[in-house]
């Protein structure tokens, strides 16, 4: 039986560190940092740890409806999504994810683009 990426890279313990590093980058980003100005970061990190775990095949799932509703009022553009994908890829590299594994996670992230990006902004 093959391991999921979640299992391969150490489960919630590692994913939580990845998420913290990822959000350090996002908060410092000139492009997307302002999205987090009035956000409860503790709650966001908890949710994102679960979300990234789900992308890695972990024991958590998010419905399309949930992802769409959470992001609907944020005004996220494709450019913003590109920035977040780039920051996530950079973070995964820093945590030693193999290139193919990193690309698989980014592919799962990208598969949800239509649920996150505001269709009016494209």
**Alpha-carbon span 42 to 6, nearest angstrom:** 21
The pLDDT score that the predictor gives to residue 1 is: 63
In a domain, residue 76? The reply is yes
Full residue range of the structural domain in which residue 90 is found:
10-116
CA-based diameter of the chain, in Å?
44
Q: What CATH number corresponds to the domain at position 97?
A: 1.10.490.10
Enter the pTM of the model: 0.93
Q: How many structural domains does the chain have?
A: 1
Work out the mean pLDDT of the chain and round it to a whole number. 93
In a domain, residue 109? The reply is yes
The pLDDT score that the predictor gives to residue 122 is: 65
User: Would you tell me how many other CB atoms lie within 10 Å of the CB of residue 31?
Assistant: 15
In a domain, residue 3? The reply is no
DSSP assignments along 25-76, one per residue:
HHHH-TTTGGGGTTS-HHHHHHHHHHHHHHHTT-S----HHHHHHHHTTS--
- What radius of gyration, in Å, describes the C-alpha atoms of the chain? 14
């Amino acid at each position: 039986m093959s391991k999921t990426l979640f299992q391969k890279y150490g489960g919630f313990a590692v994913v939580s560190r990845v998420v913290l590093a990822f959000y350090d980058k996002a908060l410092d980003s000139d492009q997307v940092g302002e999205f987090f100005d009035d956000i409860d970061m503790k709650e966001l990190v908890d949710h994102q740890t679960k979300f990234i775990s789900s992308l890695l095949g972990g024991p958590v799932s998010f419905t399309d409806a949930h992802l769409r509703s959470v992001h609907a009022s944020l005004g996220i553009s494709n450019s913003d999504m590109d920035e977040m994908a780039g920051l996530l890829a950079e973070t995964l590299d820093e945590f030693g994810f193999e290139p193919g594994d990193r690309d698989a996670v980014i592919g799962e992230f990208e598969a949800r683009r239509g649920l996150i990006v505001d269709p009016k902004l494209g």
